[in-house]
Structures are given as C-alpha cells and as structure tokens.
Chains A and B, each alone.
Chain A
Amino acid sequence: MSAPALYGLVLTGGRSRRMQRDKASLEYAGKSQLARAMELLTPLVARCFVSVRADQLYDPHRAAYDTIADIKPNLGPIGGIHAALHAYPDHAWLILACDLPFLDRATLQHLIGRRADTRIATAYRSSFDALPEPLCAIFEPRSLAVIEESLTRGQQCPRALLSGADVELLDLPNPRALDNVNTGEEYVAAKATIGTAAATPAAATPAAAVPSGAGASRRLQVRYFAMLREQAGRSTEELETQATTPRELYEELRRRRGLTLAPEFLRVAVNDEFGDWRSPLADGDTVVFLPPVAGG
C-alpha cells in the first residue's frame, strides 16, 4: 500500500505575545513570512493550507489561501495540527510554523525524502536541545489518535507529544534552518541576515539563504567572568568553532566546559558591547556570556 498523500499546513494562529505583532505578516526581503512559507511548501505537497484561529478566517492576508480553522480554541499549535488531521484524516500533513525565516527548500525536501510513513511522524532533532521539532515535521494520519489521546490528558505541548511517541528523528542538514523569531530584536537580526544573503549573487538558490560562513569554522575569543569563569576553569580561551551565533557557541561551550547556567538567564556581549544571541559571529570576534549581575 502506498503512503498517504502529503498535504501542507502553515500555522499562523499564534498570539505572538513576545513579538506583539502578527508573525505571519512580518516581512523579509520584501515578502511576508506567510507568503514565503506558502511559496516554499506549495510545490512540494499535493495541497497547501493555512491554519487559522476562527477569528482570523476573514483576515485578508490569510483568506488569500485555503484555510483550516481550529476546532478547539486556545490549544496553540496542537489545535491547528488537530484540525487539519480531523478535516482530512486520510492524508499526512507537513506542518510548518510561520516564524522560520531561515527555512529553505532543501530542509523540506530532506524531510519529505526521509519520511517514515509507518511511524507517527517524521521530524528534525532540534540543533538547540536535541528534542523533536514539531513545527517543521510530517504527521501521519495515525497521529490523530495520539493527539486526541494527549489532549484528553490535558497535554498540549507538541514537543512533549513527539518526545514520547514513535517518531522518525532526522538531523538537520542546515543547523540554522529552524531558528525561529520570537522577539522584535530577533526579527531585526534575522531580517538583516536575510537581507544581506539576498543581496549577494550566491543567494540565487534557496539553500543559499543561509548566513554566509555556515559550514565553515571561525576563530573566536571567549572571556569568562564570575561563576562561568569558575566553572570553565579559565578566564579566557581561543577556539575554532562551527558555531554561527552566540547561542550555538554557548551550547557548544556548555557541553564542553560543563557550564550549568541556563542561557535564558544570561546576556551576551560581542566585542565589548551587548549583543544578540542570534546575530552572526565573525572570525576574530570576542564573545562574553554575562551571568546575572550583582553590583552595588
């Protein structure tokens, strides 16, 4: 028996509480995030839909596409996935969040190529914490029962759902492809990166919408202070790394040096000024991870 046909679903029902604006309408290189996601996904699937909350059904931006409204309100992304599987239960669904500005065609093709239709889902392993990424994943028809069972237990977190389920897990070919954008700061940084990539001739193919230097290594200087200095057992180090952002660098050093401070409690400084966790790092940069301060 052949695998169930694949439909696509772009999730746009988020409340964007941290961003405080509709993520679907954020623009990169002159095109809205929703339009970018639909353009990427549509050629790869039999049909493509936009997942909306009931109150967004008549939003002109979304109404330009086929939509599927949440059946159960206020469930977050799982509500959108549930509504799609419920509406077309014989199809598998490639689910996409609409806040993935770095996503490229190659990442989607790789996911589809490695789809394991005998399992509940096929997903990427997060390059951040190694857990399944539910919002760029293929959900097979049989996942509907798992989702409904999970909802009856009050479990609404799609990552938790996939973590405990029979899922095909893949490594990301491009580790930054699923970096998402939650705050205004992150949006500004992502927009700058994408704008730059689009302006270079090398960006003609979708896969090249990756910040330059991904895959190559860079030489960085790291300085440690206070608790991190004690845990790392040094004040400074120079290293050759594949990490492209402070966030990736911290994860690497956290593992290698046994640092216990969670990144959400830290700030980052690059070249002696406060920096952004997602800004690209350049060869020769000096990076400092700042533990919670306590002057005075």
Chain B
Amino acid sequence: MNCFSLHETPLQPELLRKELQDPACGGYAAFEGWVRDFNDGRTVLRLEYEGFAPLAVREGERILAEAQKRFGVERARCAHRVGPLAIGELAVWVGVSAAHRGEAFDACRYIIDEVKHRVPIWKKEYYQDGDSGWVNCERCAAAPAQPHASLAAAAPEAPDHGHGHGQGRGHG
C-alpha cells in the first residue's frame, strides 16, 4: 500500500525504508530534501511548512499510484514535514522499491517533482535581513481588479474572440 503522510515531528528514514522492503525487489532508491540556508540569493535562517492535510494526502497518494503504474515499481512512500524547521533538517522523504534500480530511480524522481508542483503544501522562509516570504506566492500578488491588464496585453496577432477573465490555472 502506497502512503503519503504529513508529520509535525522529525521524519525517521530508517522506519520509512522498512516499509518498502519486499522479497521481489532488488532495487531501492530514496530522496531526501533538506532545509538549505539560502534561496534566491538570500540567507535563510529557518522555515515553516503548512499543509492542507486531507487534500495533500489525497493528491500525494495519487502521485504515488501514478509512479507505481508508470514505472512498474513495487512500493512507493513519501513523508513530508509541516511546521517550523531548522537549517539542515529533513523536510521531505521519498522512497521506492522495485525489481531493478532503473525504475526505482525514475519513479523517485517523478514523485519528488510532482509533489513539489501539485501537493497543497506551502513554505515560508525567514531571512537573515528580518524579512520573510511565502515561496512562489510573493510574485503572484496583484492589486485588485487587474485581470484587464492581461487582456490589453494580449498578443496582437490572431486574438481570440473570447473575453476571458484570466481563468487559466497558474500552476498544477
């Protein structure tokens, strides 16, 4: 059974790894994401993760199932921290076991990439200069009533007769 979980306490990779042991598996690959002390040219002192638990687990498990189907791996597991984290702490753990190493590596890579883009988890960084910010959010802030600006800037060639309201999904 694939499982995605959120944790307020430190992750324990040795326990997670045991969940993946399987006599049919000759390969195991894992990825650990650690808290880094810089981002975007700024010194990061600590950070905070926040998750929307029911949907995060649901979407996370969809990703694990996709990886299993796509790469034919036996088992896949992902655990993610929430709450305050210090530099160097383990933020996310992904592990996969499979008959052979190739699919284990590929599935592991797929899972971490998808988790970063799809699972409703947010990260706030606290910087050395006293500032703080939500990663990927700060640049999306806009004054109210801006959708029109994007319309006026529409490509001059072959414009759509539509008069959309900027409904495109920004991510996901």
Would B170 and A292 count as touching, CB distance under 8 A? yes
Stretch from A85-93, A138-146, A258-266 forming part of the interface with B:
A258-266
Query: Given A261-B140, A272-B58: A18 and B124 within 8 A (CB)?
Result: no
Closest 4 CB pairs of A and B: A14-B161, A76-B159, A295-B121, A226-B122
23 interchain pairs (CB within 8 A)? A12-B161, A15-B159, A15-B161, A77-B161, A97-B163, A131-B145, A154-B156, A157-B152, A180-B163, A226-B134, A227-B122, A229-B50, A260-B141, A261-B141, A263-B147, A264-B166, A265-B140, A269-B120, A272-B54, A288-B120, A294-B121, A295-B119, A296-B115
Count how many chain B residues have C-beta atoms less than 8 Å from C-beta atoms of the other chain.
Answer: 58
- A76, A98, A163, A180 — most chain B CB neighbours (10 Å): A76
A104 to B116, CA, bound (A): 43
Q: Which residues in chain B, 52-87, are within 8 Å of chain A measured between CB atoms?
A: 52, 54-55, 58-59, 80
Nearest chain B CB to A80 CB, angstrom units? 7
Which residues on B sit within 8 Å (CB–CB) of A14? Answer: 160-162
A65 at the interface (CB under 8 A from B): no
Would A293 and B163 count as touching, CB distance under 8 A? no
Would B52 and A255 count as touching, CB distance under 8 A? no
Nearest chain A CB to B69 CB, angstrom units? 20
Would B161 and A80 count as touching, CB distance under 8 A? yes
B143 at the interface (CB under 8 A from A): yes
Which residues on B sit within 8 Å (CB–CB) of A227? Answer: 122, 134, 137-138, 141
Would A131 and B148 count as touching, CB distance under 8 A? yes
Using CB atoms and an 8 Å cutoff, list the residues of chain A in contact with chain B.
Answer: 11-18, 23, 74-77, 80, 97-99, 126, 128-131, 133-135, 154, 156-160, 163, 180, 182-183, 186, 223, 225-227, 229, 247, 254-255, 260-267, 269, 272-274, 277, 288, 290-296
Would B162 and A97 count as touching, CB distance under 8 A? yes
- Total CB contacts across the A-B interface at under 8 A: 193
A227 to B48, CA, bound (A): 12
- A163, A183, A227 — most chain B CB neighbours (10 Å): A227
A11 to B160, CA, bound (A): 11
Would B159 and A183 count as touching, CB distance under 8 A? no
- A17, A23, A163, A293 — most chain B CB neighbours (10 Å): A293
Which residues on B sit within 8 Å (CB–CB) of A128? Answer: 147, 165
Query: Given A14-B161, A295-B115: A277 and B167 within 8 A (CB)?
Result: yes
Would B152 and A262 count as touching, CB distance under 8 A? no
Using CB atoms and an 8 Å cutoff, list the residues of chain B in contact with chain A.
Answer: 33, 49-52, 54-55, 58-59, 80, 91-92, 112, 115-124, 134-138, 140-148, 150-152, 154, 156-172
Would A296 and B91 count as touching, CB distance under 8 A? yes
Nearest chain A CB to B169 CB, angstrom units? 6
Partner of B148, one of A13, A156, A159, A293: A159
Partner of A296, one of B58, B116, B169, B172: B116
A234 to B58, CA, bound (A): 24
A225 to B154, CA, bound (A): 32
Would A182 and B137 count as touching, CB distance under 8 A? no
Nearest chain B CB to A78 CB, angstrom units? 9
Which residues on B sit within 8 Å (CB–CB) of A180? Answer: 162-165
Would B156 and A99 count as touching, CB distance under 8 A? no
Query: Given A15-B160, A128-B147, A225-B50: A183 and B167 within 8 A (CB)?
Result: yes
